[in-house]
């Protein structure tokens, strides 16, 4: 259990008293500077509790605890002051989300009781968040595995889109990145409820009602809604579902389009063009000519991330040499024509396990072309032939 407590008070004598009476029962750190306290919270191991004095030079306790709430929301906050009044208490609770409000002089026995309650509160909050995070992560992984089994082409498109989102994030930095990445991973889940002949067309669909798909355009346009309605039933995925619902919406048609939907529109349209046979630069040229479709700042960063080939080298490897993190550069087919994995799919532990299971019952081509992360090059070079 985390028992780290940070005391911030400009009176060194009070801090010395806390260190003398509380060390051993709690992991006590003290400082006389509010700015030093904020810096410690952001660069050191997480603190369970912060106890701050109200009257300090440069920054009062209410302002300090409000900043703590912003940078470390899980840290429990306690106000300690010798100037107790109702206005200060209200400010402390409303602006600093204070757990307890104590007055000086505060008996050590009372302080110990309050600190123990605060640490228990921290444990409950962090345990619940960890549980929810793991549960949500498990749901997402289960859903992506269902897509991979039901429709390998759809799974491949989701994997390619996820990789494009990650590269864009490296280039630009995307707030709430986990929501955008999850939207890319689950953007194709509606295809598992779609007839195979229509699902195949959806891989290259970008929202346009073209002659080749006109008869199926209504069904294709409904696939994002089907996906979103399914995901909206899962707590904390509401924003992800909304991004998926709007994945074909052009920015000019909805200037208030949220960022996750803008990113999804970019990566899915690019993937659709490349799957239609366009080269990387040709696909970007086509997108550049679609006035009003995309966020200009996002497109500029996306263009740079797509054109940046650093970080990978192309190789042909025997199946036994494949490792997580490598990216397929060709479809993997069994001798009977069954599509196992698609070009552009990133290899993971589950996909490699799936491949190993297929190899027991199906004859596969012994080598495959992949992109190898530079961190793995030393491991594979010398034992494989280079393509480039």
The mean per-residue pLDDT over the stretch 137-157 comes to 84
- Note the pLDDT of residue 341: 83
- Note the pLDDT of residue 214: 58
Q: Cβ-count burial of 320 within 10 angstroms (0-12 exposed, 13-18 middle, 19+ buried)? A: exposed
Which residues does 361 contact at the CB level (< 8 Å), separation at least 6?
none
DSSP class of residue 117? Answer: H
The mean per-residue pLDDT over the stretch 147-161 comes to 86
Mean pLDDT comparison of 7-11, 310-314, 332-336, highest-scoring range: 7-11
Q: Which of 246-260, 300-314, 315-329 has the lowest mean pLDDT?
A: 300-314
Q: Which of 29-43, 93-107, 135-149, 170-184 has the lowest mean pLDDT?
A: 93-107
- Distances in whole angstroms, Cα of residue 37 to Cα of each of 31, 47, 289: 6, 11, 52
Average pLDDT of the chain is 85
- Note the pLDDT of residue 212: 52
pLDDT at residue 320 tops 90: no
- Note the pLDDT of residue 223: 85
Question: Which residues are 27's β-sheet partners?
Answer: 4
Phi-psi category of residue 207: left, alpha or beta, with phi > 0 → left and psi -120 to 50 → alpha: left
Cα–Cα distance between 265 and 268 in angstroms, integer? 5
Radius of gyration of the chain (CA): 27
DSSP 214-250: GGGHHHHHHHHHHHHHHHTTSTT-HHHHHHHHTTT--
The mean per-residue pLDDT over the stretch 285-306 comes to 91
Query: CB pairs under 8 A, 24+ apart, for 374-380?
Result: 374/310, 374/311, 374/312, 374/313, 375/325, 376/323, 376/325, 376/326, 377/313, 379/323, 380/315, 380/317, 380/321
Q: Which of 93-107, 259-273, 360-374 has the lowest mean pLDDT?
A: 93-107
- Tens-digit pLDDT profile for residues 233-260: 888 889 999 999 999 899 999 999 999 9
* pLDDT band at residue 386 using 50, 70 and 90 as cut-offs: very low
Q: pTM of the predicted model, to two decimals?
A: 0.60
Report helix, strand or coil for 196.
helix
Q: Where along the chain do its domains lie?
A: 4-128, 151-308, 310-388
Question: Which residues are 134's β-sheet partners?
Answer: none
* pLDDT band at residue 388 using 50, 70 and 90 as cut-offs: very low
The answer to whether domain 151-308 has CATH 1.10.3210.10 is yes
- Note the pLDDT of residue 127: 87
Contact 303, 316 (CB under 8 A): no
Q: Which of 184-193, 295-304, 337-346 has the lowest mean pLDDT?
A: 337-346
Using a pLDDT cut of 70, give the percent of the chain over it: 89
* pLDDT band at residue 40 using 50, 70 and 90 as cut-offs: very high
Q: Which of 75-84, 111-120, 264-273 has the lowest mean pLDDT?
A: 75-84
pLDDT at residue 131 tops 50: yes
Report helix, strand or coil for 85.
coil
pLDDT at residue 211 tops 60: no
Question: Using CA of residue 220, residue 226, residue 228, residue 231, what is the dihedral sign?
Answer: negative
pLDDT at residue 86 tops 70: no
Region 4-128: CATH code: 3.40.50.2300
Q: Which of 92-106, 238-252, 321-335 has the lowest mean pLDDT?
A: 92-106
DSSP class of residue 364? Answer: B
Q: Cβ-count burial of 148 within 10 angstroms (0-12 exposed, 13-18 middle, 19+ buried)? A: buried
Nearest to 237 by CA among 162, 143, 157: 143
- Note the pLDDT of residue 382: 59
pLDDT at residue 384 tops 50: no
pLDDT at residue 75 tops 90: yes
- Tens-digit pLDDT profile for residues 330-380: 888 887 778 888 887 888 888 888 888 888 777 788 889 998 887 788 778
- Note the pLDDT of residue 246: 93
pLDDT at residue 87 tops 70: no
Q: Cβ-count burial of 181 within 10 angstroms (0-12 exposed, 13-18 middle, 19+ buried)? A: buried
pLDDT at residue 12 tops 50: yes
Cα–Cα distance between 381 and 53 in angstroms, integer? 60
- Note the pLDDT of residue 350: 81
pLDDT at residue 385 tops 50: no
Nearest to 280 by CA among 312, 302, 310, 298: 302
């Amino acid at each position: 259990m985390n028992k780290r407590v940070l005391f911030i008070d400009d009176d060194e004598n009070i801090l010395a008293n806390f260190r003398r009476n509380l060390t051993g029962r709690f992991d006590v750190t003290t400082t006389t500077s509010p700015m030093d306290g904020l810096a410690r919270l952001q660069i050191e191991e997480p603190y369970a509790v912060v106890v701050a004095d109200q009257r300090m030079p440069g920054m009062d306790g209410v302002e300090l605890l409000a900043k703590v709430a912003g940078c470390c929301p899980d840290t429990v906050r306690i106000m300690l002051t010798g100037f107790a009044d109702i206005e200060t208490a209200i400010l402390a609770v409303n602006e600093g989300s204070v757990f307890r409000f104590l007055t000086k002089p505060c008996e050590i026995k009372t302080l110990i009781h309050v600190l123990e309650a605060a640490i228990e509160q921290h444990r409950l909050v962090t345990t619940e968040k960890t549980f929810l995070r793991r549960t949500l992560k498990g749901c997402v992984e289960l859903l992506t595995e269902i897509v991979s089994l039901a429709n390998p082409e759809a799974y491949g498109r989701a994997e390619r889109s996820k990789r494009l989102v990650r590269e864009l994030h490296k280039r630009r930095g995307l707030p709430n990145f986990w929501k955008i990445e999850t939207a890319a991973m689950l953007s194709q889940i509606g295809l598992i409820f779609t007839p195979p002949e229509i699902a195949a067309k959806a891989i290259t669909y970008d929202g346009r009602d073209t002659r080749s798909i006109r008869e199926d355009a209504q069904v294709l346009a409904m696939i994002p809604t089907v996906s979103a309605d399914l995901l909206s039933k899962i707590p904390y995925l509401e924003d992800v579902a909304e991004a998926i619902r709007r994945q074909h919406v052009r920015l000019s048609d909805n200037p208030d389009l949220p960022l996750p939907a803008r990113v999804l529109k970019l990566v899915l349209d690019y993937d659709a063009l490349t799957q239609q046979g366009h080269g990387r630069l040709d696909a970007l040229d086509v997108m550049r000519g679609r006035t009003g479709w995309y966020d200009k700042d996002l497109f500029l960063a996306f263009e740079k991330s797509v054109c940046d080939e650093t970080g990978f080298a192309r190789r042909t490897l025997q199946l036994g040499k494949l490792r997580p993190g490598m990216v397929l550069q060709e479809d993997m087919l069994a001798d009977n024509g069954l599509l196992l994995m698609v070009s552009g799919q990133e290899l993971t532990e589950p996909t490699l396990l799936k491949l190993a299971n297929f190899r027991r019952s199906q004859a596969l081509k012994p080598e495959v072309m992949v992109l190898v992360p530079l961190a793995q090059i030393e491991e594979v070079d010398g034992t494989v032939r280079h393509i480039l």
